[in-house]
């Protein structure tokens, strides 16, 4: 049996994707429309006021057909994430929003980053990454992924030392973009259908495209990675939400 890598976990994450039912929206009278927009704007403003030591939140307008909005939450307690999700469902906007996709996971770092440190020391040193503030960048890109388990390309049968070398090389590519792309890795084994979620933040989309393309040629990705759907879009404020419905 190949030896697993130990991890350090931080805050829980919920990528709550929503689609706007424009048919239902058009059926509402003007007064009801105003109330829906005001309720949704109030709710997102409330989410955004979470204290820094208790979580992080942002909302994005998703490009393409897969979704219209992403409500991105990080919180210490998974029950809180469930309550936030239900709050949106039960609000006035819940009547015009459907959920095409969601992803539940937890911020995860390899203990490679904490070599020589106790668990307590590692958590203190890595707190900013374990309890992330969502970067104030224009764009987000999210995708889930698995490590492949096929014949000779079975990640879970590769030795620990070989996996460490492969991921070190993988990380070198990512470091080339560290000033343009910020990533948050969340683990979801036993929590959702995929094994990891990758959330990338950047001022524009081109560095994200170039980073992912270059990483496709890295052995850790070329041999061992399977990717799910990609969700991309710009960040919007409560005022931006109002403009979306205007």
The verdict on residue 74 lying in a domain is yes
204-219 pLDDT, tens digit per residue, is 999 999 999 999 999 9
* pLDDT reported for residue 20: 97
Banded model confidence at residue 114, pLDDT cuts 50, 70, 90: low
The verdict on residue 206 lying in a domain is yes
**Cα separation, 80 vs 193, whole angstroms:** 21
Min mean pLDDT across 15-24, 78-87, 116-125 is at 116-125
**What angle do the packed helices 30-48 and 78-90 form, to 10 degrees?**
170
Banded model confidence at residue 30, pLDDT cuts 50, 70, 90: very high
The verdict on residue 1 lying in a domain is no
Provide the phi-psi class of 116: left if phi over 0, else alpha when psi is between -120 and 50, else beta. Answer: left
Average pLDDT over residues 157-170: 86
Partners of residue 154 on adjacent β-strands: 149
Min mean pLDDT across 4-8, 40-44, 50-54, 201-205 is at 4-8
User: Does position 3 have pLDDT exceeding 80, yes or no?
Assistant: no
The verdict on residue 192 lying in a domain is yes
The verdict on residue 100 lying in a domain is yes
What does DSSP say about strands 97-110 and 56-61: parallel, antiparallel, or unpaired? unpaired
**What angle do the packed helices 30-48 and 238-245 form, to 10 degrees?**
160
Average pLDDT over residues 128-145: 96
Banded model confidence at residue 126, pLDDT cuts 50, 70, 90: confident
* Tokens 């707190």 -> residue: 127
Residue 146: phi and psi, rounded to 5, are: -125, 160
Catalytic residue among 12, 47, 139, 143: 143
Give a three-class secondary structure readout of 197-208. EEEEEECCCHHH
Looking from the CA of 231 toward its CB, the CA atoms found within 13 Å total: 28
**Cα separation, 197 vs 142, whole angstroms:** 7
The pTM (predicted TM-score) of the whole model is 0.94
User: Does position 203 have pLDDT exceeding 90, yes or no?
Assistant: yes
Number of domains in the chain: 1
* pLDDT reported for residue 115: 67
* pLDDT reported for residue 238: 83
Banded model confidence at residue 27, pLDDT cuts 50, 70, 90: very high
Provide the phi-psi class of 68: left if phi over 0, else alpha when psi is between -120 and 50, else beta. Answer: alpha
User: Does position 122 have pLDDT exceeding 80, yes or no?
Assistant: no
The verdict on residue 44 lying in a domain is yes
Question: Domain range spanning residue 135?
Answer: 7-245
**143: annotated active-site residue:** yes
* pLDDT reported for residue 113: 62
175-184 pLDDT, tens digit per residue, is 899 999 999 9
What CATH number is attached to the domain comprising 239?
A: 3.30.70.1030
User: Does position 186 have pLDDT exceeding 90, yes or no?
Assistant: yes
The verdict on residue 129 lying in a domain is yes
Residues in Cβ contact with 162 at an 8 Å cutoff, skipping those fewer than 6 apart: none
* pLDDT reported for residue 116: 65
Partners of residue 144 on adjacent β-strands: 197
The verdict on residue 162 lying in a domain is yes
């Amino acid at each position: 049996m190949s030896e697993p890598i130990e991890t350090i976990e931080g805050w829980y994450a919920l990528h709550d994707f929503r689609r706007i039912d424009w048919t239902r929206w058009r059926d509402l009278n003007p007064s009801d429309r105003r109330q829906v927009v005001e309720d949704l704007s109030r709710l997102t403003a409330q989410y955004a006021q979470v204290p820094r030591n208790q979580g992080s939140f942002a909302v994005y307008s998703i490009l393409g057909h897969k979704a219209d909005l992403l409500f991105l939450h990080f919180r210490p307690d998974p029950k809180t994430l469930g309550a936030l999700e239900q709050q949106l469902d039960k609000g006035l906007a819940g009547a015009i929003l459907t959920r095409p996709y969601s992803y539940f996971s937890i911020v995860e770092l390899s203990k490679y980053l904490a070599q020589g440190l106790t668990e307590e020391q590692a958590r203190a040193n890595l707190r900013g990454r374990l309890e992330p503030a969502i970067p104030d960048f224009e764009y987000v890109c999210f995708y889930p992924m698995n490590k492949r388990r096929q014949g000779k390309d079975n990640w879970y049968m590769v030795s620990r030392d070989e996996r460490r070398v492969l991921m070190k090389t993988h990380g070198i590519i990512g470091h080339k973009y560290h000033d343009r792309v910020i990533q948050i890795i969340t683990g979801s084994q036993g929590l959702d259908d995929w094994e990891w979620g990758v959330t990338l933040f950047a001022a524009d989309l081109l560095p994200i495209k170039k980073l992912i393309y270059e990483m496709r040629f890295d052995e850790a990705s070329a041999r061992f990675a399977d990717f799910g759907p990609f969700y991309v879009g710009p960040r919007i404020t409560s005022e931006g939400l109002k403009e979306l419905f205007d």
